[in-house]
Structure 1
Amino acid sequence: MHLDESPPRPQRLDTTPTSPDIPLKGNESISSVSSSTSLKSIISDAEEDKNPGKTFTKNVPSLKKKKNVVKTFGHEERFDPQKEADVPLPPVRKSALYDEISKKGADFAGSSAFPTYQTVLSQTYKLVAAIDFGTTYSGYAFSWKKDPANFVTLKSSSSDKLSEKEPSVLLMDRSEHLVDFGQEAVLKYKEFCEEKLQQDYFYFSNFKMTLHRNENLSRKTIIQDDKGRECLAVTVFSLSIKYFKERLLHQLDKSKDHCSNEDIRWVLTVPAIWGEQAKQLMQESAEMAGISQHKLMLALEPEVAAVFVKEIQIERQADELSKYRPGKKFLVMDLGGGTADLTAMEVVDDGSLKQLHRACGGDWGGNKVNDNFFKFLGSLFGHSVIKECEERYRSDFLDLQKEIEVMKRKFGKGDYMYNSPPKFQIPYMYQTFIKEHHKMELKAIVANSEFSQDAFLSDNGKLKLSAKLIETLLFNPVVNCIKQETENVLHELRGQIQDIMMVGGFSESEFVYQTIKESFPRTKLLRANEAGLAVLKGAVLYGHSPGVISSRRCAFTYGVGLYRVFLKGHDPEDLKCKIQGEDNIPVFVKMVTVGDEVGIGETFDLDEEIFPVKKDAPQMSFKIYRSALDNPVYIDESSIQIGKLTVKNITSSVRISLCFGLTQITVMAVNTDTKENAIAELDLLGEL
């Protein structure tokens, strides 16, 4: 049999070792798989067979099936290592391991998040409290177990009525102690700025987006304040969560119904498009804030918005009013300040929701409109000039941000807006600085600019912008991304979606609503009542009944990185490495594929035993990877490492089981010979 050369491969990742041998430190060991020998024998048989017309068979373990399958190789069929079925790696199957361990009543608390999730559900509680931590606004809500739909929400101290939640703003002193959060933090900081005391304080706003933009999060990840000074992200998030926790407990202390922290099941919302590292960072931040992991659940924002929609959306069917019924398929468009999150759901027969399409979206939230406005000012007066004004006159900058927030909600496509274009007050100190810098009146600068047909500055410093300019420069760059992503989802689902439900603060924008409605005339567009609170109230309902979500779709292909014997002539040379003197290659052992439907709590086993490379090592480590490809074969540049799984207390070999159906990836391990559980620690924030 003739074996073709593999096509050229991308350069090896830095984490992939080459010769000389990979060093093994102390008691640690990298992992290997028991099927590597059989793979080597298959290729040896093939190479020894010199008759190209002769056909032979060999049993090859398959990734997709528990049983071995028979593959036939002959002169008409060439061995292609890119084809998943031709790469003999440990098969994956739905797990009986969890049931096996559960019968023993083993307590895995602290070893992985999956058993902790089970622990959360087993805990008694009187009340569910949800914290919706948004990019622009944040808040909490709760309800008692005896009356889940009777919500109590945070009473915002803000007087602008732009949201029923607090601005996501944290004010901290030099000792990293909380000064205030929300509207009170904004007001105090403005006073400090006017008194020239701002250098003594850290002011953080819109910091949630750090966790979305950074794909290499760790416990050392930093966030910059408005002056570029750094602080650990876990410190900023934990102080913010602690603020809401203590404020809620204080509210409960004043009520007639006594409830302690131990009686509360906490729910913390996160965007569905966040990576696994970001979720773990939020979980650890909550624990630093005094919320035990045994009392905490993470909830995906568009999912819980769908839960709220399912319960509150009333429609007429057969001359009667009812909630969404089984068979209803709808798309939730969660438009917040930082991100746009889309998820398609179906109401199934038991009333629960299953995901029809993997969560998708991007950083197309309402704050992008704000950013585009300041970019426009930079184009008008000079980017460095506007940046200098922002840094010098923080109080004025905050006032200007508030004006934009008001405009975003009111601006629409109607004739009224064209006849009465929005006006923005350019702060006096901005005017003075710009005039001194350019040695020219602001009116003249605007009149001589490329925007002279669509921008006009009045004598009192009000900047009038045409509706055309606002639509083209401020809104369209954001809304067009949302439209395209929505179109992609609807196309993939081929007409299944009956309704689009808009939730989130940015969905309250008239322009966004009208644009989406015009773009998808064949689909019914609805905007949820209390759109800005849909995620928050849905999270409370989810906390009472987590089973309301019955299945999810995998956002990526996930697997573990293992080594097998290098196949000369088939495997890419640039990925070859030596382990204890033998040529090996790192391979992607797939466990679930992007887009797969996974039931909540459904787990997957690597079906074969995994041995440490260093014999008798008491522990070994695996690297967990994700890929956008359906069938990744090697650990190369298409694979992104998201964490490390360490298995301790190994007696000989282990079987591992991973769960992808929860809001976080979770893991278990058991010793093959003794059937006793091993300690499995999944760290997504440590050194990779």
Structure 2
Amino acid sequence: MSSEKQYMLVAAIDFGTTYSGYAFSFRDEFLKDPLKISANNWNAGSRGLVSLKTPSCVLFEPSKKFHSFGYEAEDKYAELALDNQHQDWFFFWRFKMSLYKHKHLSRDLMISDATGKNMPAIDVFACAIQFLSMDLLQTCKNQVSQIEESDIRWVLTVPAIWSDAAKQFMRESAEKGGIPSKQLLISLEPEAAAILCRYLPLDKLSVGSNALSPFEPGSKYVVIDAGGGTIDMAVHEIQQSGKIKELYKASGGHWGGANVDKAFIDLISEIIGKTVMEEISKSHTFDLMDLYREFEVKKRTLVPGQNGKAVFKIPFQFIEVYKLLTGKDVTNTIESIQKYKDSIAMKGDKMIIDPRVVHTIFSPSCYEIANHLEDLLEKCERHDIKTILMVGGFSESRFLQEQIRTRLPDCRIIIPADPGLAVLKGAVICGHDPSVVTARVSRYTYGTCTMVPFMSKIHPHSKMIKNKRDETYCKDIFAKIVQIGQSVSSEELHVLQINNPADEDKDVKDIQLFVSTKANPTFITDPSCKRIGCLQLDFKTPEHTQKYSVEVAILTSGTEVTVRVKNKSTGETKLENLDFLA
């Protein structure tokens, strides 16, 4: 990946769980004003609205040919559903989290659409990214017609807590979608948001005009990227140069705004019953999506402790299907449920919910986030962090804000204007200056497989092997190169030299790479370890010595990992990205 070339244009894509968007800026404009960033205005189709993001949904024809993305896909699917012609089409929405939930991610991953039909995940992601990139490119060419595709640095955002395999999956999806890999930068979402906030004036950070900037050299903070799917937390320190150093490995979990949406849908399902909800999900998918959207919009305005009740419009089909399948009126059913008879009511197609019930919808996610944040600050106690930067769409939730303020009253909470766009705009700045983060903390222990002389008092007998010279060795030793929690500078090379006894009938050696979630794994077969790649080196030399010497190096360049393997006898070197999807 070229980080030295000065690209004419930086184009960033923020592919989110619920909404996606893109933004861009030209280099000459960036040098004058880094905040001069253009974002697309999406026409919300049948809703008659204009927004800066579009729903993360993709529609394919029955032949699996790509049809549309975003609002256009929603409207077409709704049109098909009205005529009951949608069953053979493939409609994917809120599918990004599939890359986080699968522990053993591979290129062959299949994902299900809204009605349970499967397609290869890489095809779905690739088509979505291709649509966004082509739309972005056309928007840019409308401004500068002579721009060439080779003039563009592409930036794709991913959660910081995603695995290396998930990051690689997104890179390969983007490449399949037409973005040249050498022009693509993977940007971590909380980092991108923090980078933007560094440039924002104080009045855009909700800290007051007389307050000290939270981004002065020496400042430390936790950034919470609260999106629809994952919650990312990163701990940063501003260096004297103004660049960012990560102080603790990124962490978080699946507690985003979509979980609150699901809690609301689960409440509806509890009232109307599982059988009715399954029928609606299968035969009235778009009505279910309408309910999700109704809550998605309304939840941003809900305030903890408000005296008034929350009112939600329930799609007519919910009421009709319930009556058809049960012979009952949903209003009477609610009144018969002891715990809801005084807190939930139906009037026509309006569901009126008591504030106490609304609180139970938000509480689980907000509680998990605040718990994790408290735990993180305790682990980073020596850094004395008192500033919390909240970004992402879910950061707008007053319920989440109140939970964090209540649990951490001594911390300063900073929420920038338009927190939902912070990641996207920050990714553009990151594309112009990829070196803005000087050091990150490794989320894994990286190493390779080696052998050591067998010692009966230390090594299990099952690991003992003999070579052709009848020498005994212990196999499967995890030789550590980088340790979990270790601070690693950008472009830093971590080298390990291994001397192993040769196996004379093999001229080609497999150099295997492993990761572990433990700091000091003993064997590559430990439960915490996973094989992530293999490189082959030719060890046939004129001397054909009895031992071979290998230098294995991990290069932590930016947000991705590269390995370099060198045959010390011949000087042969291989440098390539690890294959986490093998």
- The alignment's TM-score, normalised by the length of structure 1, stands at 0.78
Q: Say yes or no: does 1:247 pair with 2:247.
A: no
**Residue in structure 1 matching 2:78, options 185, 190, 198:** 190
1:270-306, CA deviations, whole angstroms, 9 ceiling, x for partnerless residues? 1100001111111111111111111111111101111
Task: Supply the distance in 2 between the matched residues of 1:160 and 1:337 (Cα, whole angstroms).
Answer: 24
Tell me the CA shift for residue 491 of structure 1.
Answer: 1.1
Q: 1:475 to 1:583 in 2, by over 3 A?
A: same
Q: 1:396 to 1:670 in 2, by over 3 A?
A: same
Task: Supply the distance in 2 between the matched residues of 1:612 and 1:434 (Cα, whole angstroms).
Answer: 72
Q: Say yes or no: does 1:678 pair with 2:569.
A: no
Q: 1:298 to 1:376 in 2, by over 3 A?
A: same
Q: Tell me, yes or no, if the aligned pair for 2:160 and 2:250 is still in contact at 8 Å.
A: yes
Which residue of 2 is the match for residue 276 of structure 1?
A: 164
Q: Tell me, yes or no, if the aligned pair for 2:156 and 2:186 is still in contact at 8 Å.
A: yes
Q: How does 1:199-214 map to 2 (within 5 A)?
A: 199-214=87-102
**Residue in structure 1 matching 2:552, options 653, 656, 659:** 656
Task: Supply the distance in 2 between the matched residues of 1:404 and 1:639 (Cα, whole angstroms).
Answer: 40
Q: 1:353 to 1:200 in 2, by over 3 A?
A: same
Which residue of 2 is the match for residue 152 of structure 1?
A: 38
Task: Supply the distance in 2 between the matched residues of 1:661 and 1:634 (Cα, whole angstroms).
Answer: 27
1:173-206, CA deviations, whole angstroms, 9 ceiling, x for partnerless residues? 2333221111111111111111111123111111
Task: Supply the distance in 2 between the matched residues of 1:518 and 1:308 (Cα, whole angstroms).
Answer: 27
Q: How does 1:159-308 map to 2 (within 5 A)?
A: 159=47, 164-256=52-144, 258-308=146-196
Partner SS, residue 560 of structure 1: strand
Q: Percent identity?
A: 32
Partner SS, residue 121 of structure 1: coil
Q: Tell me, yes or no, if the aligned pair for 1:501 and 1:527 is still in contact at 8 Å.
A: yes
Stretch of structure 1 that moved more, 136-145 or 254-263: 254-263
Q: Tell me, yes or no, if the aligned pair for 2:524 and 2:530 is still in contact at 8 Å.
A: no
1:14-63, CA deviations, whole angstroms, 9 ceiling, x for partnerless residues? xxxxxxxxxxxxxxxxxxxxxxxxxxxxxxxxxxxxxxxxxxxxxxxxxx
**Residue in structure 2 matching 1:643, options 516, 523, 532:** 532
Q: Residue type matched to 1:601 in 2? A: E
Q: Tell me, yes or no, if the aligned pair for 1:377 and 1:383 is still in contact at 8 Å.
A: no
Task: Supply the distance in 2 between the matched residues of 1:199 and 1:438 (Cα, whole angstroms).
Answer: 24
Higher relative contact order (CA 8 A, sep 6+): 1
Partner SS, residue 344 of structure 1: strand
Tell me the CA shift for residue 257 of structure 1.
Answer: 5.2
- The alignment's TM-score, normalised by the length of structure 2, stands at 0.91
Task: Supply the distance in 1 between the matched residues of 2:331 and 2:467 (Cα, whole angstroms).
Answer: 72
Task: Supply the distance in 2 between the matched residues of 1:513 and 1:213 (Cα, whole angstroms).
Answer: 26
Which residue of 2 is the match for residue 133 of structure 1?
A: 15
Q: Residue type matched to 1:153 in 2? A: A
Partner SS, residue 43 of structure 2: coil
**Residue in structure 1 matching 2:322, options 434, 437, 440:** 434
Partner SS, residue 87 of structure 2: helix
Partner SS, residue 132 of structure 2: helix
Which residue of 1 is the match for residue 368 of structure 2?
A: 481
Task: Supply the distance in 2 between the matched residues of 1:163 and 1:592 (Cα, whole angstroms).
Answer: 44
Which residue of 2 is the match for residue 669 of structure 1?
A: 565
Q: Say yes or no: does 1:352 pair with 2:243.
A: yes
Task: Supply the distance in 1 between the matched residues of 2:144 and 2:551 (Cα, whole angstroms).
Answer: 51
Task: Supply the distance in 2 between the matched residues of 1:170 and 1:632 (Cα, whole angstroms).
Answer: 42
Q: 1:487 to 1:612 in 2, by over 3 A?
A: farther
Partner SS, residue 194 of structure 2: helix
Q: Tell me, yes or no, if the aligned pair for 1:137 and 1:163 is still in contact at 8 Å.
A: no
Q: Residue type matched to 2:102 in 1? A: N
Q: Residue type matched to 2:142 in 1? A: K
Tell me the CA shift for residue 327 of structure 1.
Answer: 0.7
Which residue of 2 is the match for residue 397 of structure 1?
A: 288
Q: 1:559 to 1:395 in 2, by over 3 A?
A: same
Q: Tell me, yes or no, if the aligned pair for 2:450 and 2:500 is still in contact at 8 Å.
A: no
Q: Tell me, yes or no, if the aligned pair for 1:330 and 1:497 is still in contact at 8 Å.
A: yes
Tell me the CA shift for residue 566 of structure 1.
Answer: 4.5
Tell me the CA shift for residue 637 of structure 1.
Answer: 4.3
Equivalences, count:
563
Q: 1:549 to 1:526 in 2, by over 3 A?
A: same
1:619-667, CA deviations, whole angstroms, 9 ceiling, x for partnerless residues? 414042222x222212344323151121344446431211235311211
Stretch of structure 1 that moved more, 308-317 or 395-404: 308-317
Q: Tell me, yes or no, if the aligned pair for 1:651 and 1:671 is still in contact at 8 Å.
A: no
Partner SS, residue 96 of structure 2: helix
Tell me the CA shift for residue 578 of structure 1.
Answer: 7.6
Q: 1:587 to 1:293 in 2, by over 3 A?
A: same
Q: 1:440 to 1:577 in 2, by over 3 A?
A: farther
Task: Supply the distance in 2 between the matched residues of 1:575 and 1:344 (Cα, whole angstroms).
Answer: 41
Q: Tell me, yes or no, if the aligned pair for 2:448 and 2:511 is still in contact at 8 Å.
A: no
Partner SS, residue 341 of structure 1: strand
Partner SS, residue 607 of structure 1: strand
Q: Tell me, yes or no, if the aligned pair for 1:659 and 1:666 is still in contact at 8 Å.
A: yes
Q: Say yes or no: does 1:631 pair with 2:523.
A: no
Tell me the CA shift for residue 610 of structure 1.
Answer: 5.2
Q: Tell me, yes or no, if the aligned pair for 2:446 and 2:513 is still in contact at 8 Å.
A: no
Partner SS, residue 665 of structure 1: strand
Task: Supply the distance in 1 between the matched residues of 2:209 and 2:500 (Cα, whole angstroms).
Answer: 58
Q: Say yes or no: does 1:586 pair with 2:472.
A: no
Partner SS, residue 240 of structure 2: coil
Q: Residue type matched to 1:667 in 2? A: V
Q: Residue type matched to 1:396 in 2? A: D
Tell me the CA shift for residue 496 of structure 1.
Answer: 1.9
Stretch of structure 1 that moved more, 637-646 or 202-211: 637-646
Q: Residue type matched to 2:295 in 1? A: I
Unaligned runs of 5+ in 2: 542-547
Q: Tell me, yes or no, if the aligned pair for 1:283 and 1:293 is still in contact at 8 Å.
A: yes
Stretch of structure 1 that moved more, 614-623 or 366-375: 614-623
Task: Supply the distance in 2 between the matched residues of 1:555 and 1:613 (Cα, whole angstroms).
Answer: 35
Q: Tell me, yes or no, if the aligned pair for 1:335 and 1:365 is still in contact at 8 Å.
A: yes
Stretch of structure 1 that moved more, 615-624 or 216-225: 615-624
Q: Tell me, yes or no, if the aligned pair for 1:624 and 1:645 is still in contact at 8 Å.
A: no
Q: Residue type matched to 1:210 in 2? A: S
Tell me the CA shift for residue 457 of structure 1.
Answer: 2.9
Task: Supply the distance in 2 between the matched residues of 1:319 and 1:579 (Cα, whole angstroms).
Answer: 73
Stretch of structure 1 that moved more, 452-461 or 289-298: 452-461
Tell me the CA shift for residue 140 of structure 1.
Answer: 0.8
Stretch of structure 1 that moved more, 580-589 or 164-173: 580-589
Q: Say yes or no: does 1:468 pair with 2:356.
A: yes
Q: 1:674 to 1:569 in 2, by over 3 A?
A: closer
Q: 1:577 to 1:452 in 2, by over 3 A?
A: farther
Larger Rg: 1
Tell me the CA shift for residue 124 of structure 1.
Answer: 4.2
Q: Tell me, yes or no, if the aligned pair for 2:228 and 2:394 is still in contact at 8 Å.
A: yes
Q: 1:438 to 1:248 in 2, by over 3 A?
A: same
Q: 1:238 to 1:650 in 2, by over 3 A?
A: farther
Task: Supply the distance in 2 between the matched residues of 1:453 and 1:637 (Cα, whole angstroms).
Answer: 54
Stretch of structure 1 that moved more, 522-531 or 656-665: 656-665
Tell me the CA shift for residue 454 of structure 1.
Answer: 4.8
Q: Residue type matched to 2:476 in 1? A: P
